[in-house]
Amino acid sequence: MVLLKEREALERQIQNLNKQIEQKQKAEQLYQQKIKSIKNQLLEKIRNLEKDLQNEKNDNVKIKEKLNILEAISNKPKKEVSTDTNLNWEKR
């Protein structure tokens, strides 16, 4: 009779331990899912930042090209325009 009670007590302990193991496994799965979700979000943010950086670099290149064009235009020697008009209005 004593052995039967001890056996039943041990079986309950085993069942409780199995439940605890199952709960911990479920919790571990949830943590892994959360980690995976956060990792995916971070990877998406990194991709977006890389795209933004590339766009900014492209914009900077375009700005430099336009700036170079403007500098080239402003550094060209000015052409003198002749009107062939005598602007000397002194009375003779």
Query: Mean pLDDT of residues grouped by 10 in the chain (92 residues)?
Result: 92 98 98 98 98 97 94 77 62 54
* Owner of token pair 């004593």: 2
| Domain boundaries along the sequence of the chain | 8-72
* Residue in 51, 50, 31, 49 with CA at minimum distance from that of residue 39: 31
User: For position 68, what pLDDT does the model report?
Assistant: 93
What proportions of the chain, in percent to the nearest 5, are helix, strand and coil? 80, 0, 20
Q: What pLDDT does 75 receive?
A: 83
SS3 24: helix
